[in-house]
């Protein structure tokens, strides 16, 4: 399988395996969608509460706490959506295969996630549909291992790019198993 033209991932092959570096996707795709929804929610939350309080006649205004509470609720939802969008936009991933073992490092502005799988522990590396939706299906890479819950990463990348990364990892794991 060949690397898709639009892929920005970099593969570095070495004698004991390979490293796949996946740079941040920036403000496009699902990251942009989450940020636009965030802006809309914050605008509705703040602007909507102010507009209703100004334009509704006094006898039709809701109780004093309803407008601010509704505005704050929408604004908090907007901030949460912005955090998700920003995290997707700035996420960097490094996947390394060494002697049949697989290591993951995922760096976002909020945290760094590291996981590793010993030689022979990885059962499958596939592309699956994500639980997140941004108008269209989103895909992610799934690493399934013995006695562990599946690890899903790289949500929002193109399905072709994910299929290519999965095939590179599977091939390297198969070719670099430590022989006893």
pLDDT per residue, tens digit, the chain (180 aa), is: 899 998 999 999 999 999 999 998 887 776 777 777 788 877 777 776 666 667 767 776 666 656 667 777 777 888 887 887 888 778 899 999 999 999 999 998 888 999 999 988 999 999 999 887 655 678 999 999 988 899 999 988 899 999 999 999 999 999 877 654
The CA angle 130-80-95, to the nearest 5 degrees, is: 45
Residues 98 and 167 in one domain: yes
Residues 63 and 117 in one domain: no
pTM to 2 decimal places: 0.75
Residues 155 and 114 in one domain: yes
Expressed as residue numbers, the domain containing 156 is: 10-24+91-175
Residue 99 lies in a domain: yes
Residue 2 lies in a domain: no
- pLDDT reported for residue 63: 66
* Total structural domains within the chain: 2
The count of other CB atoms within 10 Å of the CB of residue 91 is 23
Residue 153 lies in a domain: yes
């Amino acid at each position: 399988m060949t690397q898709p033209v639009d892929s920005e991932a970099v593969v570095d092959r070495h004698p004991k395996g390979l490293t796949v570096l996946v740079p941040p996707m920036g403000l496009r795709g699902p990251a942009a969608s989450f940020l636009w929804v965030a802006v809309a929610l914050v605008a509705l939350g703040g602007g909507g509460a102010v507009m209703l309080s100004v334009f509704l006649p006094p006898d039709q205004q809701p109780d004093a706490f309803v407008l601010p509470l509704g505005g704050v609720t929408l604004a908090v939802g907007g901030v949460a959506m912005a955090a998700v969008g920003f995290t997707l936009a700035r996420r960097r991933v490094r996947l390394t295969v060494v002697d049949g073992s697989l290591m993951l490092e995922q760096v976002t502005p909020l945290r760094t996630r590291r996981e590793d799988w010993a030689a022979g522990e990885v059962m499958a590396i596939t592309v699956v549909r994500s639980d997140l939706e941004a108008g269209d299906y989103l895909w992610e890479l799934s690493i399934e291992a013995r006695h562990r819950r599946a690890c899903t990463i790289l949500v929002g990348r193109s399905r072709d790019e994910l299929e290519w990364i999965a095939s590179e990892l599977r091939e390297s794991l198969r070719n670099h198993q430590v022989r006893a």
